[in-house]
């Protein structure tokens, strides 16, 4: 890929590399390296490892400095949610990162440019490259710009909480049993179903939820049950 071809990505990032080779390396998948060692003597896994750590630091620092005074546990949950593959691949898709990837023929033919794992890894590698090229302040600004909407949405909707896991832990701790979920109702057409799920602990109904999937309904039911048993 000629260096001028990555200008579009730099425009999307809002950052222009002094060392263009760093950006190219962050976009180089190991499959391309294995097939073209003369063109790409290295690939993006080391930058990905670095970028993962930089991303985690930026997110935790932002949460730590928030006036909401989040607990360590809550910060950990929010960070885990924001750095997962689905979130990073969505951000990568927003800036058309897949267009710029250097992939081997096999990955190219099997749709590698759209694979969530490859996109998420490359996004972290780009963050690592920006950190090396421009320093922490630069990469922090870019990460927050790309993630801010998702941070706000995650916090306002509490998407980062794993209510089912939390309920399981609370139930085992207080009652020595696992919660049981039961589908009470399924409504609507096959592709537009609404599920109603109740959750029971030792035979007692403690929560109920409705959702477009069983998982969503169970999550809502678990949230309601948690609020009850934490007061027991």
- Residues annotated catalytic, as ranges: 52, 124
**Rounded distance between C-alpha atoms, residue 52 and residue 35, angstroms:** 26
Count of beta carbons in the 10 Å neighbourhood of residue 65: 7
For residues 157 and 144, the answer to whether their CB atoms sit within 8 Å is no
For the sheet with 204-211, list strands across it.
Answer: 180-187, 194-201, 204-211
**Rounded distance between C-alpha atoms, residue 117 and residue 38, angstroms:** 26
**Rounded distance between C-alpha atoms, residue 172 and residue 147, angstroms:** 36
**Rounded distance between C-alpha atoms, residue 134 and residue 51, angstroms:** 13
Q: Beta partners for 199?
A: 181, 207
């Amino acid at each position: 890929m000629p260096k001028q071809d990555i200008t579009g990505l730099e425009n999307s990032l809002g950052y222009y590399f002094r060392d263009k080779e760093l950006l190219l390396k962050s976009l180089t998948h190991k499959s391309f390296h294995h097939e073209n060692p003369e063109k790409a003597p290295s690939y993006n896994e080391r930058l990905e490892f670095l970028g993962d750590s930089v991303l985690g630091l930026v997110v935790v620092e932002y949460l730590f400095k928030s006036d909401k005074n989040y607990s360590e546990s809550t910060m950990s949950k929010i960070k885990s949610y924001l750095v997962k593959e689905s979130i990073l691949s969505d951000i990568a898709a927003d800036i058309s990162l897949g267009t710029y990837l250097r992939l081997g023929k096999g990955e190219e033919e099997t749709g590698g440019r759209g694979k969530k794992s490859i996109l998420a890894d490359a996004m972290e590698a780009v963050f690592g490259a920006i950190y090396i090229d421009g320093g922490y302040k630069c990469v922090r600004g870019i990460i927050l710009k790309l993630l801010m909407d998702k941070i706000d949405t995650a916090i306002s909707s509490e998407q980062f909480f794993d209510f089912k896991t939390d309920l399981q832990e609370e139930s085992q701790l207080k009652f020595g049993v696992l919660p049981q979920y039961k589908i009470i109702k399924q409504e609507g057409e096959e592709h537009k179903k609404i599920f109603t799920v109740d959750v029971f602990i030792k035979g007692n109904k403690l929560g109920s939820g409705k959702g477009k999937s069983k998982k969503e309904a169970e999550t809502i039911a678990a949230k309601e049950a948690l609020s009850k048993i934490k007061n027991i």
